[in-house]
Amino acid sequence: MAAEGGTVEELGGRELPPLRLERKLIREAQRGSRDALADLYAAHWSQAHRAAYLVVHDAAAAEDIAQDAFLAAVDALDRFDRRRPFAPWLHRIVVNRAIDWARREALRRKLDDPDSLAEPETSPDAVGGELMEILAQLPPEQRAVVVLRYLLEYTPGEIARMLGLPRGTVNSRLRRGLDRLRDLVEVEG
């Protein structure tokens, strides 16, 4: 797990606090410390936002989703069990909302124009490159497990619990996602 253990790890360009420090921040935030909340936010925003963006491929939606997840965290802070790490709980909200958004968007596009691709169009200039174009060609559910596994470093078992899926489904989505990415890279390359 990213936040477990006593060391600081770097993920998505942002250092995550060790679990002990995180517990302290949560305890202080539960007591009303705005600074502690800001530290928690600073530690987790970047990953949450990045994960949302990599699933939805829409900057405004990713911002809304990440913001929404933090607001849900603030709302439930008093009930939060400090023995558990914060990140998986936050990421679960982010990724599930991102999947919902991507599905709705795909449906909306399909209804608007049945002849169009169900996935959003991406522009290399707008979204930062080839990876995004390739990732955009995966269904949102596959994108989500790829992001959870290879950006956020969750195990397939943890991903299964976060998404409420059988572990076999997670494994097969990962396998299909990776195969598809390899195929696409080969074709693109």
Phi, psi angles (nearest 5°) of residue 57 = 60, 35
Cross-strand bridge partners of residue 10:
15
Minimum distance of another protein from residue 25's CB (angstroms): 13
φ and ψ at 167, to 5 degrees? -60, -35
Task: State the number of binding residues for another protein (CB under 8 A).
Answer: 52
Please choose, out of 16-24, 30-38, 85-93, 158-166, the segment that lies near another protein by the rule CB under 8 A. 30-38
By CB under 8 A, name the one of 37, 94, 138, 163 that touches another protein: 37
Smallest distance from the beta carbon of 90 to another protein, in angstroms? 12
CA distance 118 to 98: 16
Residues 88-107 that bind another protein (CB under 8 A): 107
Alpha-carbon Rg for the chain in angstroms: 17
Phi-psi region of 41 (alpha: psi -120 to 50; beta: other; left: phi over 0): alpha
Q: Which of 94, 86, 79, 73 is nearest to 16 (CA)?
A: 86
By CB under 8 A, what part of segment 115-174 binds another protein? 115-116, 126-129, 131-132, 146-147, 150-151
Angle (nearest 5°) at CA 72 between 66 and 75: 145
- Our finding on whether 80 is near another protein (CB under 8 A) is no
| Stretch touching another protein by CB under 8 A, among 16-24, 36-44, 83-91, 156-164 | 36-44
Structure tokens at 115: 């002849």
Q: Are 102 and 84 in contact (CB under 8 A)?
A: no
Q: Which stretch binds another protein (CB under 8 A): 59-67, 79-87, 88-96, 156-164?
A: 59-67
Q: Which residues would be at the binding site for another protein (CB under 8 A)?
A: 11-13, 29, 32, 34, 37-38, 41-42, 45-46, 49-50, 53-54, 59-60, 62-64, 66-68, 70-72, 74-75, 77-78, 107, 111-116, 126-129, 131-132, 146-147, 150-151, 178, 181-182, 185
